[in-house]
Amino acid sequence: MLTFYNEHHAQHRGRHEMFRGALVPCFEKPERVDMVLAEFERRGLGRIVTPHGVSLVSLERIHTPRYLHFLRNAWSEWVALDEANADKDAFPSVWPIRGMRSDIEPDNFAARMGLYSMDSGTPLTAGTWIAAKTGADCAVNAAHALRLGERGTFALTRPPGHHAGADFFGGYCFLNNAALAAQHLLDDGASKVAILDIDYHHGNGTQSIFYGRNDVLFISIHADPRTEYPFYLGHANETGEGEGTGYNLNLPLAAGSTPAQWFLALESACVKLASFAPDALVVSLGVDTFAGDPLSSFALQSGDFLRIGERIAHTGLPTAFVFEGGYAVGEIGINVVNVLEGFETAN
């Protein structure tokens, strides 16, 4: 397993997030990656390298130029409003909703931040851009390595990415690493690519990016959005539109679903993958399906993550894993590396 490590991930370190009406310590924190890295090194699962930087043009294959411009400059604009802001994270406070315009970018910073966000639980910090950009570098490098002959690669990075859309952030995500990896594979010669999202939460950003396309199959196994974030996307009847009709498969599961029910959904996903016959696979690897996760109501155990890796390996596809969610920090390293080891050792 060739791993691309984001050595700048800890520069994105939120002080607080809004959760159930209160400011609480961030669930998405640097220790998540630190624990995975330590476990990966302990098992000696493969080489760990730093990525080559990719151009902004590569990011513009997925994200809009004006959104990228906002992200690159947001912190300096935030601090320019008031020097005291250097000691505060930036949060949105106003959003355009139905009937309001989003085509005109406001001059007001707070209004622009709301234009490009989907929630109040994703703090923007002094190091957000460098951490997110280096994470995108990791994902694109992991995809490129597949085209150079690697069977499996891993982008070990944070902040995660699958909630970020073409022009918005949220759900702890700023740049959509899985989407960038898939697009790079296509740009590098693949004719079809699949993305399998196994995070507890639906990858709404990834779905929205590819919803009208037939060169990327998006499959997501996740908690029912009627009760779980991101709430407004991820239902089973969302199957794509236009040329993308039939190329989006959502497999929502009820709160409290058992491991047996989860693995039944994984089997359905793998059957769909086989019929699509992609040239490569990108896996949005979230492990917040773990029974001990504070933001989950599923019941997977650490041993189940070995089985996940084994089943993905049996698809026979070159696979780039991209780290997403998982907030049971004490077990996160074991759970993530179990998936990778299961993939690597599958017969």
Would you call 296 helix, strand, or coil by DSSP?
A: coil
Q: What is the residue whose two structure tokens read 């780290």?
A: 323
In the chain, the amino acid numbered 254 is: A
Give all strands (DSSP E) within the chain, no chain letters.
2-5, 17-19, 22-24, 48-49, 152-156, 193-197, 216-223, 248-253, 280-285, 319-323
Q: How far apart are CA 131 and CA 144, in angstroms?
A: 20
Q: How far apart are CA 296 and CA 272, in angstroms?
A: 26
Using CA atoms, how far residue 171 sits from 160, 181, 312, in Å, is: 9, 19, 26
Phi, psi of 146 (to 5 degrees): -65, -40
Would you call 12 helix, strand, or coil by DSSP?
A: coil
As given in the structure block, the two tokens for residue 115 are 């234009």
Of 229, 170, 248, nearest to 205 by C-alpha is 170
- Which residues are annotated as catalytic? 163
